[in-house]
């Protein structure tokens, strides 16, 4: 038996349908719609001949951390173009856009001067400013992240101080609204004469294990005040000192640089052209950019390598879908979904021909659910597909909207932005930290995720009936309001629907 015959037989078993596949009331899955033979061949290539871990190793070790707009960011774009060309994709190109400013990390250090003396672990947050060249000595005071309205009433007490954020009591708003207000608070602190801020991911503490987590503190937003994340163990000691009536005094020195003008970057794009409806497009994407405290492996090298391995598995299978599959490696995700927003703007005239966007960006764990970006009407159809994967793993389907990654702009464009949510309990440690490295990734899990992505992309592009067309702005706005997204989107300048969608008597299903 030759290799391809063996791969086919093994993969048929992997995508066997559930026993309820014959239920005629249910939408057609791969066993009924004619796509299963092609999916079986793709599964064989994906599971038995995957390049996912090789792509990830190359990206992590030979490119490394890759902040958008940096030389390393450009190196990653060149790397992505070369990989897509080697896979054999067509129309491979870099789609350029500009971001508002570039940022370069310098040095960040801190030491406790009183009530005892020792080094503290800190790292600067992205797109934040610097202290004076030699650093500064200052006392530490706390501010309650959960009551910034009250803190804003007495800003004078922060003059000349290092402000340490401390969530106290119950939050009065959801995370995203706290995050938005935190940005306003940072601007107010700078105006009030505070010298630095200890408060990393939206003002919340690091996760522990003596790690810091970098990141940006707004959507396409920079801050003049230096902001650092501090290791949880160090910050905890400062909090105990303050609780005991002692005032910690710190020397802190942060040196970063911001460009005064916009910088150019690009998304990396390549395609498998559709055989019948090449104008109709399924986007398969992940963000190529990362932070720079380590290799950017789990955020989002795993997604990047899965996109490339999915493309490779489909190409090697010899199968061609009815519609075009467009593979996109977005940049600027970490600065506020800049690459995916640029994509939907640059391709605005094509949006009517897009069916969906599939994105992987939830760490290093196995895929556990398809989040349909508010398109509840599509859940039965997607369930018919994921049921065929029962021999791979159990996957749930829901209509959650995910705006923490590149699904967001596609949801705003009326499309199902499908987030492949993952079971990644250790992601809280690797996320934006020095632990974001190859050692956190299991090759078998990566291979499985890349193959599921390949199968989902091909099925969406090859099924006889078109899965979806973009919703109207009114229908999209109604869904977003019903899902509680309005205030968050408005706070970050992403709401473009005006008063649309306020009629609660209409259903978006």
Q: Are residues 281 and 317 in the same domain?
A: yes
Which ranges of 282-406 would DSSP assign to H, the alpha helix?
Answer: 302-317, 338-346, 379-387
Q: Give the domain CATH number at 376.
A: 3.40.630.10
pLDDT at 419 over 80: yes
479-494: pLDDT as tens digits: 999 999 999 999 999 9
Q: Are residues 108 and 94 in the same domain?
A: no
- Residue 26's pLDDT is 77
Indicate the burial class of 24 (C-beta count within 10 angstroms; 0-12, 13-18, 19 or more): exposed
Q: Are residues 284 and 432 in the same domain?
A: yes
What the block records as the tokens of 384 is 């018919």
Q: What number is the average pLDDT over the span 153-178?
A: 94
Q: Are residues 85 and 198 in the same domain?
A: no
Residue 78 to residues 82, 267, 352, 371: CA-CA distances in angstroms? 6, 10, 30, 31
285-336: pLDDT as tens digits: 999 999 999 999 999 999 999 999 999 999 999 999 999 999 999 999 999 9
In a domain, 95, yes or no: yes
- Residue 16's pLDDT is 57
In a domain, 36, yes or no: no
pLDDT grade for 414, boundaries at 50, 70 and 90: very high
Q: Are residues 190 and 67 in the same domain?
A: no
In a domain, 1, yes or no: no
Which ranges of 15-51 would DSSP assign to H, the alpha helix?
Answer: 30-33, 36-48
Q: How far apart are CA 399 and CA 420, in angstroms?
A: 12
Indicate the burial class of 376 (C-beta count within 10 angstroms; 0-12, 13-18, 19 or more): middle
- Residue 8's pLDDT is 47
Q: Are residues 380 and 459 in the same domain?
A: yes
69-121: pLDDT as tens digits: 999 999 999 999 999 999 999 999 999 999 999 999 999 999 999 999 999 99
Q: Are residues 366 and 278 in the same domain?
A: yes
pLDDT more than 70, % of the chain = 94
Domain count, the chain: 3
Q: Are residues 330 and 364 in the same domain?
A: yes
Q: Report helix, strand or coil for 217.
A: coil
- Residue 98's pLDDT is 98
- Residue 323's pLDDT is 98
Q: Which domain holds residue 136?
A: 103-258
Q: Are residues 197 and 309 in the same domain?
A: no
pLDDT grade for 11, boundaries at 50, 70 and 90: low
337-383: pLDDT as tens digits: 999 999 999 999 999 999 999 999 999 999 999 999 999 999 999 99
In a domain, 15, yes or no: no
- Residue 172's pLDDT is 85
Q: How far apart are CA 360 and CA 223, in angstroms?
A: 29
In a domain, 249, yes or no: yes
In a domain, 466, yes or no: yes
In a domain, 136, yes or no: yes
Q: Are residues 378 and 230 in the same domain?
A: no
Cα 133 to chain center, whole Å? 34
The last residue of a domain, from among 214, 240, 258: 258
- Residue 509's pLDDT is 53
Q: Give the domain CATH number at 176.
A: 3.50.30.30
The last residue of a domain, from among 258, 280, 295: 258
Indicate the burial class of 205 (C-beta count within 10 angstroms; 0-12, 13-18, 19 or more): buried
Q: Are residues 434 and 358 in the same domain?
A: yes
Q: What number is the average pLDDT over the span 223-231?
A: 98
Rg for the chain, CA atoms, rounded: 24
Torsions phi, psi for 440 (to 5 deg): -85, -5
Per-chain mean pLDDT for the chain:
94
Identify the H or E element spanning 57. Answer: helix 52-58
Judge if pTM exceeds 0.75.
yes
- DSSP E strands, 259-395: 263-272, 277-287, 323-330, 354-359, 367-371
- Residue 148's pLDDT is 96
266-275: pLDDT as tens digits: 999 999 999 9
16-64: pLDDT as tens digits: 554 444 455 679 999 999 999 999 999 999 999 999 999 999 999 999 9
- Residue 504's pLDDT is 52
The last residue of a domain, from among 232, 258, 284: 258
CB 419 within 8 A of CB 407: yes
Q: How far apart are CA 319 and CA 305, in angstroms?
A: 21
Q: How far apart are CA 360 and CA 86, in angstroms?
A: 22
In a domain, 406, yes or no: yes
Q: How far apart are CA 418 and CA 15, in angstroms?
A: 21
Q: Report helix, strand or coil for 2.
A: coil
Q: What number is the average pLDDT over the span 235-264?
A: 97
- Residue 85's pLDDT is 98
385-413: pLDDT as tens digits: 999 999 999 999 999 999 999 999 999 99
Q: Are residues 486 and 506 in the same domain?
A: yes
Q: What number is the average pLDDT over the span 274-291?
A: 98
């Amino acid at each position: 038996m030759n290799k391809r015959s063996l791969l086919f037989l093994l993969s048929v078993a992997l995508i066997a349908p559930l026993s309820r596949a014959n239920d005629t009331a249910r939408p057609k899955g791969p066993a009924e719609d004619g796509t299963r033979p092609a999916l079986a061949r793709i599964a064989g290539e994906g599971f038995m001949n995957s390049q996912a871990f090789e792509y990830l190793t190359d990206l992590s070790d030979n490119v490394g951390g890759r902040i958008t707009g940096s030389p390393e960011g450009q190196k990653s774009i060149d790397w992505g173009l070369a990989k897509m060309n080697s896979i054999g994709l067509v129309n491979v190109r870099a789609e350029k856009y500009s971001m508002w400013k570039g940022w370069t990390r310098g040095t960040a250090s801190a030491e406790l001067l009183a009530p005892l003396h020792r080094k503290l672990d800190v790292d600067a947050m992205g797109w934040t400013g610097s202290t004076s060249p030699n650093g500064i000595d200052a006392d530490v005071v706390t501010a309650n992240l959960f009551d910034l309205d009250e803190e804003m009433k007495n800003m004078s007490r922060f003059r000349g101080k290092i402000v340490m954020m401390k969530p106290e009591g119950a939050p009065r708003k959801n995370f995203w609204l706290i995050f938005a207000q935190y940005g306003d608070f940072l601007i107010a602190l700078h105006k009030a004469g505070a010298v630095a801020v200890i408060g990393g991911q939206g003002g919340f503490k690091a996760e522990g294990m003596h790690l810091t987590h970098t990141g940006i503190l707004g959507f396409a937003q920079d801050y003049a005040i230096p902001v650092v994340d501090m290791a949880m163990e160090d910050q905890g000691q400062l909090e105990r000192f303050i609780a005991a009536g002692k005032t910690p005094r710190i020397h802190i020195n942060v040196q970063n640089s911001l460009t005064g003008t916009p910088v150019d970057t690009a998304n990396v794009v390549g395609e498998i052209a559709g055989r019948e409806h090449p104008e109709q497009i399924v986007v398969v994407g992940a963000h190529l950019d990362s932070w720079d405290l380590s290799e950017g492996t789990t955020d989002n090298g795993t997604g990047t390598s899965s996109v490339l391995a999915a493309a490779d598995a489909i190409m090697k299978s010899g199968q061609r879908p009815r519609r075009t599959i467009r593979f996109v490696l977005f940049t600027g995700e970490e600065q506020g979904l800049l690459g995916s927003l640029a994509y939907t703007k640059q391709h605005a005239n094509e949006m009517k021909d897009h069916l969906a966007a599939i994105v992987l960006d939830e760490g290093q764990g196995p895929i556990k659910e398809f989040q349909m970006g508010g398109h509840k009407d599509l859940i039965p159809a997607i369930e018919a597909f994921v049921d065929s994967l029962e021999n791979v793993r159990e996957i749930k389907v829901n209509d959650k909207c995910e705006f923490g990654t590149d699904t967001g702009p596609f949801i705003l464009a009326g499309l199902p932005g499908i987030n492949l949510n993952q079971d990644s309990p250790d992601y809280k440690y690797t996320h934006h930290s020095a632990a974001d490295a190859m050692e956190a990734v299991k090759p078998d899990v990566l291979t499985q995720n890349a193959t599921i992505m390949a199968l989902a992309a091909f099925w969406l592009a090859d099924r006889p009936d078109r899965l979806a067309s973009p919703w109207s702005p009114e229908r999209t706005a109604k869904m977003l309001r019903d899902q509680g997204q309005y205030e968050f989107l408005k706070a970050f300048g992403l709401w473009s629907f005006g008063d649309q969608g306020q009629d609660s008597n209409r259903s978006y299903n």
